Structure 1
Amino acid sequence: MDANEDIPSPSPRIFDRYASSSDDDSQPSYPSLHSTNRRLDYMIQFLDRNLLPQHSSRRDGSAVGQWWLDLIDETLRDMMERKSQVMMGKKLHERKMYERVGSRQLAGMLVAVWVEGNLKPHIGDIDAAAVPCGFGRAIGNKGAVGLRLRVYDRIFCFVNCHFAAHLEAVGRRNADFDHVYRTMTFSRPSNVFNAAAAGASSAVQMLRGANVMGAHSVEVMPELSEADMVVFLGDFNYRLDGVSYDEARDFISQRSFDWLRERDQLQAEMEAGNVFQGMREAVITFSPTYKFEKHIAGLSGYDSGEKKRIPAWCDRILYRDSRRTLGSECSLYCPVVSSVSQYESCMDVTDSDHKPVICIFSVEIARIDESVRRQEFGDVMRSNEEIRCKIEELCKIPETIVSTNNIILQNQDTSILRITNKCVESNALFEIVCQGESTIKDDGQASDHHPRGSLGFPLWLQVTPAAGIIKPDRVAEVSVHIEAFHTQEEFVDGSPPNWWCEDNRDKEAILVVKVHGRYAMETRNHHIRVRHCSSAKMKKNDSKPNDSPQIQGNLLHRADYQRLSVSYDVVDHLRNLHSP
């Protein structure tokens, strides 16, 4: 579509192509593979007259382009509403509606995609790109705009092009295509798509032409080559060679298109492998679409002015799907298979010197029903004894032992915990976590353990390494180290204490060594108690006060305790304190 056209009256015949589309229900080839047959309709108008010449060199689009999008939105909505009321008597929201999912404009070029509402949940990863091919590969009067989207996890690309004009510029047109195909880059890399879209690797990859302009020494795979289906459309500007204006008019009036197609530049260049390599086109059964005088209907509208430009099929639609050969059927190895059910021009459109071209595709998409596949996979696993035994063997948890279940340490002490893999065939993967922490009561028993959750190990405990792989019949050594902290733990018995307090109570942590195999989801757990006996804990001082001539700072010694029963005992005690 050329968005620089003035605002004509929309042709009902063009929009009827949208409203008349039909869908076939998905037919399963086998339970886990569904071949979805979608009749995809594309309406493309190529209107090349620029009423706003300044737009031809702009990289952006124009307000007229947005007008076209709004017009198509409104027309599709009105037509579907009328059909639902007249044909089916249903309300609007009960009728399948079309919704625009993406568009991109570059100067006069515009590409847009509409999808039915029931197909919308299966559409995603919509992206757009533009490649200018004008002067210095920087001006947008020539070039291409593209849309890429994912349909049922398969990648589709639609590229609207406008190549160099004039009869003799065949090489420039070939170079324009080559530049577009190699350099069209979307904002998101295609490898972010679902891995199910790997069918693109089986698609026919376009060969590089010899007429490369600005090729790099190290080529990268063009993004368009990764798509499962690519549709090129637009004003390619290829003309007819070796035919005069009068001869062309005579053969057109007789509908002798075979003789004219033999002189078609695009067909000759494709057969020589110079352009659109690996792509196909439906058989042309319509009259050349260029050049017409405006507002003159029928074949009498061909250019009759001073230049008398020779009629030509400038406006074309080419495509490539996943097939290597025309006889290939839709499958996971050939996930997208398309066929053309209609390829024609709209001769009754007189608002441009070009005629719009319409192509209707029927596309089969191979997709996997994940729920059915999982069910089938489970049935196979359960029914095949050999596979079941192998899976059980792969999921088997290696037998391991730990050197101890109890570790008692003081500040700065380190103990080595040994984990032995007794299996002689498989690696054992281990992970050590702290299940809970508690303080030790005066009677030596641990209080209720408080879960650590995402807090990890306590600050006073260091475990290195906390995870690893033990080779068959080997031993892993894990360092369990007690670190001296003079400040209180973050939580003691579940409540945060004052930050200036010191926690001199003994503490205990429950470590869990989780062991599993490489393919096993379940684990075998070993529980280990690690007790921290604080060396800074106050002990009763048995020595006399006079034996300590120097009092350590911040260390308060408790006096000997005596029971004083009556007041006389108190007086005697005080007297003895001052006696020599």
Structure 2
Amino acid sequence: MDMLSPLGYIKVTSIRMQGLLLLVFVKRQHVPFISGIYTNYTRTGLCGYWGNKGGVAVCFRIYGYAVCFLNCHLPPHLSNIDQRLSDFDRILEMQNFEKEDIPNILDHDLLLWFGDLNFRIEDYGLCFIQESINNEHYSDLWKKDQLNMIKKTDSLLQQFQEGPLLFQPTYKFDIDSEKYDSSEKKRKPAWTDRILWRLKRELLNNSVDSGECERFFSMILKSYQSHMKYKISDHKPVTATFELELKSLLLSPPITLIPEGQWITPYDLVVSYNRSPDFISSAWDWIGLHKVVIRHLKDYVTYAWVKDNMVSSNEGLHQVYINASGFPEEGGEFLLSYYSNNLQGIVGLSEPFQISRNVLTPEDWRERKGDPLMY
């Protein structure tokens, strides 16, 4: 959050299960178009009782499309390929969701599957693998990579795409070095750390019976690489960068916040907002005041419950009272957010605006009391 928030990214959610951690950051302009944030986890260690192995997932809708991120840690060792596949099947089976239209993880428009999948390189000996790596003959090793081999016959895995493995195997290294395992075990290098994705078949076809595509969602892999400079683990981290192109199913965010008037501390204020006709509010919705650099969804200076602090509601315009006790005396640049409990996310963000320090005299204040946005 310290690194990404100054660049305009907000942490929208996270989930952790022992060593499995999944964080989702989103650029500020996209946050109001994300809804239905949901997290889940599945333990597969010790027959499902221990979370050292398994999967964690984050799912949400973005611009109307259902997206899921699935981070897995599957069983290790060369001979455990059947157990890896069995655990993956169990994770998919157990990752059910509280949504009628998306009952299972495979029902999402986009599923990104990644993590320490622990697939190994079969048949070849250690010397041949190391020689191939030294000469960057990675294609010789792809043929015996367990995941690539299984995808030839497994109908489900065939639906997942992966970029070319143009980087050296990412496991197993001596700590604080770029040397492969020099211990007595001398484990063979392997591409254990992978990033794959699966688009729904309807989106892959990009066509409908009417001849015009009402839903368009495409994803292009821009980079897929490892990072050898990181040495704190016996794995090397892997990153993938994608470019998404889509036809938005939402023309505007559900809530439009209007920071009208001159905001001056420490005077209480009324916030105005409009909402789309199909938006359903909840008694647990709230409006927050944030500094312009937001670290996470609840990184607010102060907030007000929408229902409890409603001032007026007519002709589509709603007004909510915000107590000034939480306002920063120094003022600065801020923005407003609307959090929807039903959609589990921020569904409206205002443009940044200034809050000024109080420089009004009591006489000035008495003159301003007629302003409907000031109390």
TM-score tier, shorter chain, comes to 0.5 to 0.7
Q: Does 1:283 align with 2:194?
A: no
Change in Cα spacing, 1:184 to 1:125, as seen in structure 2 (3 Å) is same
Q: Does 1:260 align with 2:141?
A: yes
Match for 1:303 among 158, 181, 194?
181
> CA contact under 8 A between 1:156 and 1:230: conserved in structure 2?
yes
Structure 2, unpaired ranges of 5+: 253-375
Change in Cα spacing, 1:333 to 1:181, as seen in structure 2 (3 Å) is farther
Per-residue Cα deviation, 1:94-145 (whole angstroms, up to 9, x for no partner):
xxx0000011111110111000001111111100000011112221111000
Per-residue Cα deviation, 1:280-325 (whole angstroms, up to 9, x for no partner):
111111100000011113xxx1111111100000000010113469
Percent of aligned positions with the same letter in both sequences? 32
| Residue number in structure 1 paired with 2:192 | 314
| Residue number in structure 1 paired with 2:218 | 337
> CA contact under 8 A between 1:174 and 1:275: conserved in structure 2?
no
**1:556-575 mapped onto 2 (5 Å cutoff):** none
Following the alignment from structure 2 to structure 1, what is the Cα–Cα distance between the partners of residues 214 and 166?
A: 33
> CA contact under 8 A between 1:279 and 1:319: conserved in structure 2?
yes
> CA contact under 8 A between 1:178 and 1:275: conserved in structure 2?
no
Following the alignment from structure 2 to structure 1, what is the Cα–Cα distance between the partners of residues 73 and 155?
A: 18
Q: Does 1:139 align with 2:50?
A: yes
One-letter identity of the residue aligned with 2:33: H
Following the alignment from structure 2 to structure 1, what is the Cα–Cα distance between the partners of residues 83 and 250?
A: 46
Structure number with bigger Rg: 1
One-letter identity of the residue aligned with 2:197: Y
Q: Does 1:228 align with 2:109?
A: yes
Q: Does 1:74 align with 2:5?
A: no
Following the alignment from structure 2 to structure 1, what is the Cα–Cα distance between the partners of residues 42 and 73?
A: 11
| Residue number in structure 1 paired with 2:28 | 117
Following the alignment from structure 2 to structure 1, what is the Cα–Cα distance between the partners of residues 203 and 35?
A: 29
One-letter identity of the residue aligned with 2:89: D
Following the alignment from structure 2 to structure 1, what is the Cα–Cα distance between the partners of residues 203 and 216?
A: 13
Displacement of 1:366 in angstroms is 2.1
* Partner secondary structure for residue 286 of structure 1: coil
Change in Cα spacing, 1:274 to 1:264, as seen in structure 2 (3 Å) is farther
Aligned length: 249
Match for 2:237 among 350, 356, 373?
356
| Residue number in structure 1 paired with 2:123 | 242
**1:495-534 mapped onto 2 (5 Å cutoff):** none
Displacement of 1:161 in angstroms is 0.1
Query: Normalization by structure 1: what TM-score?
Result: 0.41
| Residue number in structure 1 paired with 2:66 | 155
One-letter identity of the residue aligned with 2:4: L
Per-residue Cα deviation, 1:65-119 (whole angstroms, up to 9, x for no partner):
xxxxxxxx112235x3xxxxxxxxxxxxxxxx00000111111101110000011
Change in Cα spacing, 1:329 to 1:315, as seen in structure 2 (3 Å) is farther
Displacement of 1:367 in angstroms is 2.3
One-letter identity of the residue aligned with 1:358: T
| Residue number in structure 2 paired with 1:182 | 93
Following the alignment from structure 1 to structure 2, what is the Cα–Cα distance between the partners of residues 168 and 239?
A: 9
Displacement of 1:353 in angstroms is 0.3
Bigger relative contact order, structure 1 or 2 (CA pairs below 8 A, ≥6 apart): 2
| Residue number in structure 1 paired with 2:280 | none
One-letter identity of the residue aligned with 2:198: R
Following the alignment from structure 1 to structure 2, what is the Cα–Cα distance between the partners of residues 346 and 130?
A: 28
Displacement of 1:329 in angstroms is 7.5
* Partner secondary structure for residue 75 of structure 1: coil
> CA contact under 8 A between 2:224 and 2:241: conserved in structure 1?
yes
Per-residue Cα deviation, 1:9-60 (whole angstroms, up to 9, x for no partner):
xxxxxxxxxxxxxxxxxxxxxxxxxxxxxxxxxxxxxxxxxxxxxxxxxxxx
> CA contact under 8 A between 1:329 and 1:337: conserved in structure 2?
no
One-letter identity of the residue aligned with 1:121: P
Following the alignment from structure 1 to structure 2, what is the Cα–Cα distance between the partners of residues 138 and 235?
A: 20
Match for 1:273 among 154, 159, 171?
154
Change in Cα spacing, 1:327 to 1:99, as seen in structure 2 (3 Å) is same
Displacement of 1:245 in angstroms is 1.1
Q: Does 1:167 align with 2:93?
A: no
Following the alignment from structure 1 to structure 2, what is the Cα–Cα distance between the partners of residues 341 and 351?
A: 27
Following the alignment from structure 1 to structure 2, what is the Cα–Cα distance between the partners of residues 275 and 169?
A: 19
* Partner secondary structure for residue 160 of structure 2: coil
> CA contact under 8 A between 1:290 and 1:313: conserved in structure 2?
yes
| Residue number in structure 1 paired with 2:300 | none
One-letter identity of the residue aligned with 1:161: C
Following the alignment from structure 1 to structure 2, what is the Cα–Cα distance between the partners of residues 357 and 329?
A: 34
> CA contact under 8 A between 2:38 and 2:59: conserved in structure 1?
yes
> CA contact under 8 A between 1:323 and 1:334: conserved in structure 2?
no
Change in Cα spacing, 1:274 to 1:294, as seen in structure 2 (3 Å) is farther
Query: Normalization by structure 2: what TM-score?
Result: 0.63
> CA contact under 8 A between 1:228 and 1:335: conserved in structure 2?
no
> CA contact under 8 A between 2:223 and 2:240: conserved in structure 1?
yes
Following the alignment from structure 1 to structure 2, what is the Cα–Cα distance between the partners of residues 269 and 320?
A: 16
